[in-house]
Structure 1
Amino acid sequence: MPLLTRVAPAIGLFFLAPLNAEALMGNFPIASPIGVVGLLAILPLYGAGALFIRELVRRTGRGWPTMLALGLAYGMFEEAFITQTLWNENWVDVRILDYGYMPAMGTALPWILFMAGVHTIWSISAPIAIVETLAGTRRTTPWLKKRGFVIVGVLFFAYSVFAAVGNAVNEGGTLAGLPQFIGAAVVVVGLVVLGLRLRRSAPAVEGRAPSPWTVFAFALAAGAIFVLLYAVDPTGLSPWLAIPVPAWGSVLIYLALFATVGTLVRRWSHRSNWSDAHRLALAAGAMLTYAWHSFPWKPTLTVPISQTVDLTSNTITTIGAIVLLVIAARRVTT
């Protein structure tokens, strides 16, 4: 197999992960030069991170339970040590931690839960699921040889150190104390260990999973609840939904949502008719949630962006997401 053909899925994931995580969400407008520069700057973080996780899972013969656990570990690692948003009370000039702030921990639980969902599903899992669908018969096989896998891992961790130091310098020092960093490290390591101890899902059981269209609608509904719940945060990045939900209520809804989605998807994925189409339906629901939600969402760049540029960027990324999903859907039906 020619080299370019062999590594094409890896290249696709390397670029799709940051595009999905930041451009489709509405953070980095791609119609703006500064937005494009920002995306290029985070390629080693999201692209190499998602690719490293995917290759590690597939090379060790594990499945989606491990993928999700490592995706969550990735999210906590990024937010605690690289961007340090878990401790930054004034990130991009927004008081992101005022809502539900816990002085003893130096952070806010609603923000932690929001970041947990954002990274586990949108930064890592959805891009992997979509590119694996496009990969066809190579869906669960490694895309990189050992040397490429090592290079991607080194790139990710080297960039993480560089970015963490750069952010600390820009903020005038680290934003958390040693106990907070130790606690975050314990959580990240614990999630990695847990993920690597998990094996593939249990064998199929009796019963049938809902149709892919039903799963797609479920993913859209769950995604809508998730993103709208953050929009009620009066001091958040995009507080456009004026519903007075107390922070403790927000936490309970997040936890109930995660438990419900996790339970149902786990049950459905053990059914004998669970297929690539169902996995794509979940990823498509997540991706299109970001697509529509990018319009009320405000870019997180520190430079002003016009509404025209923002609207143009969101329209372009939404159309791109739809086209990509149509191609992927045709892949599972042919």
Structure 2
Amino acid sequence: MTNPNVVTAPKHSSVKRSLPALGLFFLSPLVAEFLLGNIPVSAFYAILTLAPLYGGGAVLIRELVRRRGWGYPSVIVLALAYGVIEEGITTQSLFNPNYADLRLLDPGHISALGMGAPWTVFVLGLHTVWSITVPIVLMESVSRRPREPWLGKVGLWVYGMLFLAGIVATTAFGYSKDSFRASTGQDVGVGIAIVVLIALAVWIGRRAPRRTTGSVPSAWIVGVVALALSSGWMVVNDQVKNGWLEAVLLLAIEVLTVFVIVTWSRRTGWTRMHTLAAAGGALLTYAWHAFPEKPVFDAPHSTDLIGNAVFALLAVALLISATIRRDKFGDS
């Protein structure tokens, strides 16, 4: 028997139909690195090297989920798997004690795993929410076909090759700059984690969504709550100096956020506008956090501030556009 939830791409996929995938391909690194303030506008050329990894991953996750008829819970779990791939394989920041000369693993160090508790929680959270999930929600919100595949078989193959190229290129670049190599045990652990997360995403996707009755706050309230929770999460990472306390607080905010969003989203009054509002709140957190963020590339302070302002304005413009589109096309 065929799965009634599975959605197939059209046999004659047009260039116009695939444009949202191309938009997501570039939006993902824009949000992940430039809106965050991690890379200044003066190094905007870096998007060409970042897009295959970030954008390729986002497009493949989105297409897999929509082709199988799954929902955002599967997107989130696969986004976490993406984070494990990037930080556990390509950059190895989860295990490298001197990654980028930052000593990220010293706070809350777990000697048995060779990992730092707060850094692991923080960086995987960044990728799960902002690198993958938020860009997918935003691009689907401005698309007329938010639940349908955007790519045919050829398009999937192209983006798959781009993603693979991004993994290989990023890994090779990291190896050329740093002699550190994760241990065999760490590599095996990363592989197991990726397989488990993919299996979990499949299991969640195949389960029928549970809907309950109950009131849902307005989309504006959902957005404000998402902004407050994600902002608090970033402030904890910036201000709390005790590694173990930081890890506990980060996890506590994550659990609270999941509980609140899952509780609301299961109710019949939850709409795609609420989903957009939640993603929008997180997006605005990156927008304000870019200003105190120190970029990894040297740039004049004025240039950095101008770039942050431009990216923040673009983020607001995208949110307004997505909101208008959702009002126009409803919850389709």
Aligned partner of 1:265 in structure 2 is 261
**Quick check: 1:287 aligned with 2:283?**
yes
Q: 1:2 to 1:116 in 2, by over 3 A?
A: closer
The separation in 2 between residues aligned to 1:131 and 1:10, in whole angstroms, is 8
Q: Which residue, 118, 131, 139 being the options, matches 2:139?
A: 131
Which letter does structure 2 place at the counterpart of 1:217? V
> Which consecutive residues of structure 2, in runs of 5 or more, have no partner in the other structure?
1-11
Kindly report which structure 2 residues correspond to 1:130-279, keeping only aligned pairs within 5 A, or say none.
Answer: 130-136=138-144, 138-174=145-181, 176-199=182-205, 202-232=209-239, 243-244=240-241, 246-279=242-275
Pairwise CA distance, 1:40: 1.5
Moved more, 252-261 or 21-30: 252-261
The CA distance in 1 between the partners of 2:13 and 2:56, in whole Å, is 22
Percent same amino acid among aligned pairs? Answer: 39
- Pairwise CA RMSD of aligned residues? 1.5
1:314 is the counterpart of 2:308? yes
What letter corresponds to residue 306 of structure 1 in structure 2? Answer: P
Deviates more, 1:290-299 or 1:262-271: 262-271
Q: Which amino acid aligns with 2:282?
A: A
After superposition, give the CA deviation of every residue in 1:52-94 in whole Å (9 maximum; x if it has no partner).
Answer: 1000111111111110100000001100100111122222232
Is residue 4 from structure 1 mapped to residue 15 from structure 2 by the alignment? yes
Quote the Cα distance in structure 1 between the aligned partners of 2:221 and 2:286: 19
Q: 2:71 is matched by which residue type in structure 1?
A: G
SS of aligned partner of 1:42 = helix
Query: Offset at 1:173?
Result: 4.6
How far the C-alpha of 1:19 sits from its partner, in A, is 0.1
How far residue 230 of structure 1 moved from its aligned partner, in angstroms, is 1.1
**Conserved? CA contact 1:28–1:39, under 8 Å:** no
Give, in whole Å, the separation in 1 of the partners of 2:237 and 2:38: 15
Instruction: State the Cα distance separating 1:328 from its structure 2 match.
Output: 0.7
After TM superposition, the runs of 4+ consecutive aligned structure 1 residues lying more than 4 A away are none
Partner of 1:238: none
Alignment of 1:41-190 (within 5 A): 41-136=49-144, 138-174=145-181, 176-190=182-196
* TM-superposed deviation, 1:284: 0.5
TM value normalised by structure 2: 0.92
**2:327 alignment partner in structure 1:** 333
What residue ranges of structure 1 are gaps of 5+ in the alignment?
233-242
Q: Does the CA contact (< 8 Å) of 1:201 and 1:270 recur in 2?
A: no
Which residue number corresponds to residue 36 of structure 2? Answer: 25
Q: Give the residue type in structure 1 aligned to 2:315.
A: A
CA distances 1:105-159 after superposition (whole Å, capped 9, x unpaired):
11101001001210010000000001101013x1110000012112211221232
